[in-house]
A and B are shown apart, each in its own frame.
Chain A
Amino acid sequence: MEYEILGLPVWYYIAMVAKVLVVFVWVLLTVAYATYAERKIIGHMQVRLGPMRTGWHGLLQPIADGLKLFFKEEIIPAEASTFAFLVAPLIALVPAFISFAVIPFGSTITVGGYKIPLQIAAFADKSGGVVDVNVGVLYILALSSLGVYGIVLAGWSSNSKYSLLGGLRASAQMISYELAAGLSLITVFMVSGSLSLQTIVADQAAFGWYAWRNPFLFAAFIIFFICSLAEINRTPFDLPEAETELVSGFCTEYSSMKYAMFFMAEYANMITVCAITVTLFLGGWHGPFTDAMPLLSPFYFIAKVYTLIFTCMWIRATYPRYRYDQLMGLGWKFFLPITLVLIVGNAFWINVIGAGNWLGGLFA
């Protein structure tokens, strides 16, 4: 560590840039190929083939779609509020991507004697301890709430009734389901005692994944995943863009790259939500042999995230869309009371039985 810039070793900067690049490229590629995977999986679940023509088994389809959208005509409606109309897709897209800054996608690896924690917003200090954002979960919650502004602004600025209704639905849905999702996260904090995602994953690696810690946490895991689906407007909760009633909802008036941005935001949100669920409930990067070989840990993380993404697509292929009043009823009358019960039950369990693994390390 001969060279230091602003009191930090050169390795710090190299590692930071490398981590940002790797994660950003991985998210972009996953977004592109998630669209392909979704079409293929849903196709085969409906006994169809899905894309087959562009490249081998349609493998170049996402690239062809991207090129097509890129060269499409950009239409801004004459009655639209131009500035908000232009900014809305960016507001939807950016939070979806920068949530990844605090998600640990691997354990700490050592390169050239310098410890690199595989999480963008983290570094190893001089004593070798890992420092990360100590309110990581809060940061994620804040950003996921920001995403809805893009959708609401898009709906309002398009100056079309379908878009407006889509935007209204999105905001109402987000507010209803964020409550239940936030409350189910409280059960996690009760066990971890920390909002730092490094600490949460380390605790799971040491004492077993939170999803199997006790029945209340398992229920919280299921409810958090369902509420997350509702928050990112995926089927069966995709009311903001319900084609049957609202043409295409908030993105009715959008075309070209601006539409593509909404599309990317939707898929990036799905990846983020799956990554958060993995980190908070399914042990993050933890898996067999990760202590001996830290390089394995990103692969465990990616495998878990892809499994959850597959589950999202599976759910999309299976369930029809909720009716609007049923959606609201489910959020306020079912999930909200249940999560409150879960918090109380979890508190009792921790005090009476303990915070450890109730299945005796079976799924550790």
Chain B
Amino acid sequence: MLNVASPLINGLKITLQHLFKKPVTLQYPTERPVVGPRFRGLHALNRFHDRSKCVACYLCPTVCPAKCITVEAAEDPITHEKYASRYDIDILRCIFCGYCVEACPVDAVKMTENFELANYKREDFAYTQEMLTDKK
């Protein structure tokens, strides 16, 4: 005879066992998640003396699949070094793939563990060089 009851009882058994397991829920704002070691959060520019390390080689805007990075190059009048006069990331377009970090030849751009990027205005998502560069 086809056994009707035992799968039903097995199902009940499984849910009862789960009742006594430790819940996996993270109480988010009070409990913080532990992010992975190579987590890709908001970008940051490494600093070298008084400005960011970026040499405006245009590799990151070239490799960026979302085309969210805008770089403009300039020349330092004293040292004649090439540097980025503008380094903007439109974070609303960014897909956090990390290609810019991989492409960078001078280790200027990196990604932080900050994933809380919510904001009230659309303009607030356009990150500029000043906002991205590590503070001293």
Contacts and interface: CB of A to CB of B under 8 A. Distances in A.
Interface of A: 41, 43-49, 52, 314-315, 317-319
Interface in B18-57: 18-19, 21-25, 27
Contact of A47 (B11, B23, B27): B23
B18 A314 contact: no
Contacts of A318: 11-12, 14-15
27 contacts: A41-B19, A43-B23, A44-B18, A44-B19, A44-B21, A44-B23, A45-B18, A45-B19, A46-B18, A47-B21, A47-B22, A47-B23, A47-B24, A48-B23, A48-B24, A49-B23, A49-B25, A49-B27, A314-B12, A314-B15, A314-B16, A315-B12, A317-B15, A318-B12, A318-B14, A318-B15, A319-B11
B8 interface: yes
A52 B27 contact: yes
A273 B63 CA distance: 66
A263 B28 CA distance: 30
Contacts, number: 35
Q: Which of B15, B18, B19, B22 gathers the greatest number of chain A CB atoms within 10 Å? A: B15
Classify chain B: how many residues form its interface, as a range. Answer: 10 to 19
B12 A47 contact: no
A44 B17 CA distance: 10
A41 B12 CA distance: 13
A182 B18 CA distance: 35
Given A52-B27, A318-B14, 10 more contacts: A41-B19, A43-B23, A44-B18, A44-B19, A48-B25, A49-B25, A317-B15, A318-B11, A318-B15, A319-B8
Contacts of B21: 44, 47
Q: Secondary structure of the B side of the interface? A: helix
A284 B27 CA distance: 42
A45 B15 contact: yes
Contacts of B14: 318
Contacts of A45: 15-16, 18-19
Contacts of A315: 12
B72 to A, nearest CB: 47
Nearest to B18: A45
A239 to B, nearest CB: 19
Contacts of B18: 44-47
A235 to B, nearest CB: 12
A46 B21 CA distance: 9
Most buried by B among A47, A48, A317, A318: A318
A52 B25 CA distance: 11
Contacts of B8: 319
Contacts of A46: 18
Top 5 closest A-B pairs, CB basis? A49-B25, A318-B15, A45-B15, A318-B11, A49-B23
A41 B23 CA distance: 12
B5 to A, nearest CB: 10
B26 to A, nearest CB: 10
A127 B22 CA distance: 58
Contacts of A41: 19
Contacts of B15: 45, 314, 317-318
Contacts of B19: 41, 44-45
Contacts of A43: 23
A54 to B, nearest CB: 13
A316 to B, nearest CB: 10
Nearest to B21: A47
A313 to B, nearest CB: 10
A43 B22 CA distance: 11
A171 B19 CA distance: 34
Interface in B111-135: none
A201 B81 CA distance: 96
A278 B16 CA distance: 22
Nearest to B25: A49
Contacts of A47: 18, 21-25
Nearest to A320: B11
A323 B22 CA distance: 33
A171 B22 CA distance: 41
B90 to A, nearest CB: 35
